[in-house]
Homo-oligomer: A and B are copies of this chain.
């Protein structure tokens, strides 16, 4: 493992010059630069990031904190962030806060703060003011994905608008009895996502004068199984069978599609079904949905951090960046009979 001094020796220059030549900071004559680069290549020299970080105070490493890894949305965000970071020469240190509060405190106190990271991306994580402040005090930029964080730059999708769009698609097809499968209280963790989507649904109905019917709501846990159970409940109601279902996530919507089949209802002839996400399975199931783009969200988060880490790049004005979404119509929605 050659050090900078061996490179310096081989190139016949000082270590300072090697550092300048290799990092691009400061001026070095082209000839010298080339000799240094050749020497470095010959020795297979790579800078020690620790020594470098210690000297500069920058780690070229960002921490990504996520409550899950194993779910489509979160995995995609991390994947997108990883790619973007790699492109900028940064590493990504992963903190999975799936565990309870102990794990959480432990991560904050012993890991993030160790000066290991230059910045933090928090995915769907409601940080306490304390946590935010300790990061800000440390001068570490943070960007949140998925909801408003006090005083922090965030990327978030307008859940009310997304749900409204989905519901309006169903309305525009002529559906009047539109059921909703949404989260129950227990899922309020993620920035009221379930509530916002429910509000969007209700807003759309009310806008066209359809009263919200509590019997057309069923709670589920954002899994396929949950959506399946909820849909059976809805479809089994003998006096109030909906002609369409809007589920707050694609996984629940797919569960609902399977429930429909199991009950002898065909989609979309007997029942239209609509989700949110454009999950990786949705195309296969022919599910109509409102797409969001998690990988791109991860990438965007990185761009925002880079802007803050390297001033001189354009400065984003507003604290919150709205995320794009699109209606994707497939074969699970149609006019009612």
Q: B-contacting residues of A (Cβ < 8 Å)?
A: 1, 46-51, 53-54, 59, 61, 69-70, 72, 75-76, 78-79, 82-83, 86, 89, 91-96, 98-99, 103, 106-107, 109-111, 113-116, 138, 223-225, 228, 255, 261, 280-281, 283-284
Contacts and interface: CB of A to CB of B under 8 A. Distances in A.
Given A54-B54, A86-B106, A86-B107, 7 more contacts: A49-B116, A51-B54, A69-B69, A70-B280, A79-B98, A91-B95, A225-B283
Contact of A228 (B70, B92, B94, B284): B284
A138 B284 contact: no
A94 to B, nearest CB: 5
Contacts of A228: 284
A269 to B, nearest CB: 15
B53 A50 contact: yes
Stoichiometry (number of copies): 2
B54 A82 contact: no
Contacts of A106: 86
A98 B223 CA distance: 27
A115 B284 contact: no
A59 B82 CA distance: 21
B115 A48 contact: yes
